Amino acid sequence: MLLPGTVQATATARAREFAFGDADFEALRVLVKQQTGINLSDSKRELVYGRVARRLRALGLRSFGEYRALLERGGAEEMVQFCNAITTNLTAFFRESHHFEFLSEHLKRLDRAGARRLRIWSAGCSSGEEPYSIAMTILETLQNYPRWDIRILATDLDSDVLEKAARGCYSVERVEGLGPRRRAQYLREVQTPSGPGFEVTPEVRSMVVFKQLNLMHQLPMKGPLDSIFCRNVVIYFDKDTQRELFTRMARLQRTDALLFLGHSESLFKVSEDYELLGKTIYRRN
């Protein structure tokens, strides 16, 4: 007797260009966990097939077994491409706008206290909308910002999206959420290979430094960091991986520093180094 979904699964398997068995999926799933900390559930099987199959075609390989052997031989360049293929990049300018409103109020408090040093880390910055939104928030909040020592570090595992982020070019659709005032102030119209688009102004781009970083590796920054944006990143990690990561992040922050998580993420039973202020905004204890 066929179980529910068996007919569909069988049809999918027949339609595949490459054979993709349990051993292939399990081996790649283990490798993803080792390299990135991301846990791939069984429901991600078709996603893994679709994204890795593109690498097989690009390399002219005939099977997932050949691809696994290539990775096992220590192909560092292909390991980067593999991680790029698996990671998901979904972002937008001023996504979860209440975070930037809270950041603005925090900056005002620092300004009144006479602070002139600011360090913010965008962990998992994707194609750059988040760190550029942080830069815009700073420009809008701190009228005397040229007198500040400001650094925004933006990191991601995916080297391809980092290249796009550093260019700061976006389609018309990607900047619609900014509104006419911010578009006029922080963007310039340009012609891209795919049509009309916008480019972030040099003033905004100069505030952000983009670097590739695997969160499973040693964190190279020394701190102290005033704010960390780690949004929609740890949702893919298991609890032990989350605990270890936030322990390392906490060491980079002083008391009252801020941590912003994604809308579906929480530090409940993960970290006691932070207290919840509300709406996925945390403060270092």
What domains are there in the chain, each with its CATH number?
6-86 (1.10.155.10), 97-284 (3.40.50.150)
Cα separations in angstroms, 47 against 80, 137, 267: 18, 36, 28
Task: Report how many helices (DSSP H) and strands (DSSP E) the chain contains, helices first.
Answer: 11, 10
In angstroms and rounded to an integer, the radius of gyration of the C-alpha atoms of the chain is: 21
Respond yes or no: is residue 240 known to be catalytic: no
Distance CA 245, CA 266 (A): 13
Encode pLDDT of 126-179 as tens digits: 999 999 999 999 999 999 999 999 999 999 999 999 999 999 999 998 998 898
For residue 148, the model assigns a pLDDT of 97
Q: Which residue has the higher pLDDT, 79 or 3?
A: 79
Active-site annotation holder among 55, 119, 156, 284: 156
Q: Which alpha helices (H) appear in 18-96, and where do they start and end?
A: 22-36, 45-59, 64-72, 76-86
Respond yes or no: is residue 51 known to be catalytic: yes
The sign one gets for the Cα dihedral 5, 10, 13, 15 is negative
For residue 52, the model assigns a pLDDT of 95
pTM above the 0.85 mark?
Answer: no
How many Cα neighbours within 13 Å face the side chain of 148? 23
What angle do helix axes 22-36 and 76-86 make, rounded to 10 degrees?
A: 100
- In the predicted structure, residue 235 carries a pLDDT above the cut 50: yes
Distance CA 60, CA 196 (A): 35
Active-site annotation holder among 51, 95, 174, 283: 51
For residue 75, the model assigns a pLDDT of 67
Encode pLDDT of 13-40 as tens digits: 446 899 999 999 999 999 988 887 778 8
For residue 192, the model assigns a pLDDT of 81
Encode pLDDT of 35-74 as tens digits: 877 788 898 899 899 999 999 999 999 999 999 999 988 7
- Structure tokens belonging to residue 11: 């049809």
Distance CA 95, CA 192 (A): 24
What is the mean pLDDT of the segment spanning 228-255?
94
For residue 88, the model assigns a pLDDT of 66
